[in-house]
Structure 1
Amino acid sequence: MQYMVIRKSDAGSELDSFPSAELVQAVPGARWLRSSADGGLRMRRRDGQWLYQEGPFDDVSVAGFTFIEAEDGRAARDQAARWPSADAEGSAVLEVREAGCPGGCCGFDTGAAPKHTAWAILLRSDPVFESDMEPPAQVIDMMNRANQAGVKAGIALSGEGLKSTARGARVKFSGGKPFITDGPFTEVKELIAGYWTLDAASRDDVIAWVKAYPYPVPGDMEVELRKVAV
C-alpha cells in the first residue's frame, strides 16, 4: 500500500534556507515547498465565486511530502518514525496518510522534470472529505479525464487523493525521539485531502487550471498554491 508522509510546517520551514542540502539528500524523491511568501496563494470557492488570499500565511500546514510503500498503516508509521535527524535537529512533525481517492480516482506521477516552474496544489480538507465521501462515478470519470488531459498537455506532473485521517497517524519528534498518535484528527483546517503538481510558465496558468478542474465536491472548497523548491 502507498502512504503519503507529510512534513508539517513550522517556523524553520518558512525560511529561504529550507530545505537544507542534508535533508534533500536524506529524503530522496521528496517534494519540498517554498515559503508561502514566495508566490503562495489560497483560492476559496464560495457560492460559485473564487476568492483569493496572497501569502504569506500564518497557518501554513505543509512544508513538503514524500510517498512510501508499506504493508499497512502500522508499518507506514514505523517507517515515518525513522525520519532523518537532518530535519530540524530531530524536532519535525509528520503526518502519515493512506493514499488513494475514495471512489477510485486514479493517482498518477509522470516522473517528468518541469520545464518551467513546478507548483503544488494542495486541496484543503473539510468535514466532507474527512468522512471519506465517495463521489458519483460520473464525477470520478470527469476527474480522471481532466488528469489525463493535463498530462497530455504537459502541465500535470502528478496527483493523488488521500483517505481520511481516521486511517492515518501523526509522528512528533522531541529530542530525536518519535511519539506516535493515531488519527482521526480534529483540526480539519490544517489537513489536506489531496494534491497535484503542475508545470506552468506562470502562476496565472496554474490559477486557470485550478478554476477549470472538476472537483469531487460541487460547493465550497479551498486549495493552496505553493511553488515546489525541489
Structure 2
Amino acid sequence: MVIRRADAGSESGAFPAASLVDAVPAARWLHPGHQATRLHRSAGAWSIEHGPFPASELAAGFAIVDVASKEEAIAWAMAWPTADAEGDAVLEVRETGCTGGCAGIDAPVHRPAPHLEPVRLEPYAVLIRSSDALEADLPPPPDVIARMNARNARDAQAGVLLAGDGLKGTAKGARVKFKGGRPSVVDGPFTEIKELIAGFWLIQAASRDEAIAWVKSYPFPWPDVTLELRALACPLPH
C-alpha cells in the first residue's frame, strides 16, 4: 500500500485535483479529516469522536500496488505526479498482509439484483489506527483469525466488503518525501505510533450510521482498538 499522507493542502477541501485523480487511477481518495469519525473500543465499550483531527495523523488517500518488492513499490512512489510532488507530498510505502493468516479481500463492487429497488451505497474506508502491539506484528490467536476470515468472506460475498488487508509494521516500510518535486527515501521503522495505520477495510453502506454499525459488529481481535471511518471523495470505478 502507498499512503499519501495528509497535509494542509490535502485538508483544504480542493484536494484531490482532477488531474491527480486521472494520473493515479489506482488511488482511493478520502474526504478531509473534519468529516472523519473515530471509534474507540475500550473494556468492551465504544465511544465516538468526530473530526477534525491533526493533519499529521491522517491519510489523504491510498493505492494498492501489486509489485515484486519494496524497492519496486518505492520506485512507483518516486514517480508520483509532478503537480502534487511539487507541493512536498509525503508517501508512505507499506507491505500488506495480516500477521497470523488473515486472508486479504479484493471483491467486486456489489450491484443489486435487477428485480430489486436499487439502494444507493456509499464507499467508506475503515482504517485501523496502530498501537505498540500492532506495530510489533503480534499475531492474534488462530480462532480469532478464523472468525475474522469468516466475517470477511461473508461480507465480501454480500457486496458489503470490497477490499481489506492488514499492514505489516513500518520496519518493513519506507517514506518517500518530496521537496520541490525531488524525492528522498527514509526507511522505517517509524516511531510516531499515533500517526500510523495498521490495516484497512473498504466497505459500502447506505449511510454513515450503517457504516458505524458495521465497525461495531466486527470481531476485532483486540479488546482495545481505535478505527477511523473516512468517506471516499471520488466514486469507485464500475
Q: Same fold (TM over 0.5)?
A: yes
Q: 1:148 aligns with which of 140, 153, 178?
A: 153
| Aligned counterpart, 1:198 | 203
| Aligned counterpart, 2:38 | 42
Query: Aligned partners of 1:10 and 1:113: how far apart in 2?
Result: 33
Shift of 1:137: 1.3
Q: 1:89 aligns with which of 82, 86, 95?
A: 86
Query: Aligned partners of 1:41 and 1:29: how far apart in 2?
Result: 24
Q: 2:126 aligns with which of 121, 144, 148?
A: 121
Quick check: 2:67–2:73 contact (8 Å CA) kept in 1? yes
Q: 2:193 aligns with which of 188, 193, 210?
A: 188
Amino acid at match of 2:47: L
Shift of 1:154: 2.2
Shift of 1:56: 1.5
Deviation larger for 202-211 or 114-123: 114-123
Quick check: 1:90–1:177 contact (8 Å CA) kept in 2? no
Shift of 1:37: 2.0
Unpaired segments ≥5 residues, structure 2: 112-119
SS of the residue 1:64 aligns to: strand
Quick check: 1:168–1:183 contact (8 Å CA) kept in 2? yes
Query: Aligned partners of 1:109 and 1:11: how far apart in 2?
Result: 31
Query: Aligned partners of 2:17 and 2:110: how far apart in 1?
Result: 21
SS of the residue 2:3 aligns to: strand
1:101-124 deviations in Å (ceiling 9; x for gaps) = 011111112231784111110001
| Aligned counterpart, 1:13 | 10
Quick check: 1:161–1:194 contact (8 Å CA) kept in 2? yes
Query: Aligned partners of 1:110 and 1:177: how far apart in 2?
Result: 36
SS of the residue 2:25 aligns to: coil
Unpaired segments ≥5 residues, structure 1: none
| Aligned counterpart, 1:61 | 58
| Aligned counterpart, 1:225 | 229
| Aligned counterpart, 1:51 | 47
Query: Aligned partners of 2:11 and 2:130: how far apart in 1?
Result: 21
1:138-165 deviations in Å (ceiling 9; x for gaps) = 1111111111121222211111111000
Aligned length, in residue pairs: 225
Amino acid at match of 1:42: R
Amino acid at match of 1:125: S
Q: Flag as ranges the 4+ runs of structure 1 deviating above 3 A.
A: none
Quick check: 1:12–1:88 contact (8 Å CA) kept in 2? no
Shift of 1:89: 2.8
Higher strand residue share: 1
Query: Aligned partners of 2:126 and 2:11: how far apart in 1?
Result: 17
Query: Aligned partners of 2:202 and 2:64: how far apart in 1?
Result: 14
Deviation larger for 112-121 or 172-181: 112-121
Amino acid at match of 2:210: D
Percent identity among equivalent residues? Answer: 52
1:31-89 deviations in Å (ceiling 9; x for gaps) = 00011223x10001112111111111124420000011222212221221111113153
Quick check: 2:105–2:163 contact (8 Å CA) kept in 1? yes
Amino acid at match of 2:204: D
Quick check: 1:47–1:220 contact (8 Å CA) kept in 2? yes
Shift of 1:28: 0.8
Structure-to-structure mapping, 1:199-218, within 5 angstroms? 199-217=204-222
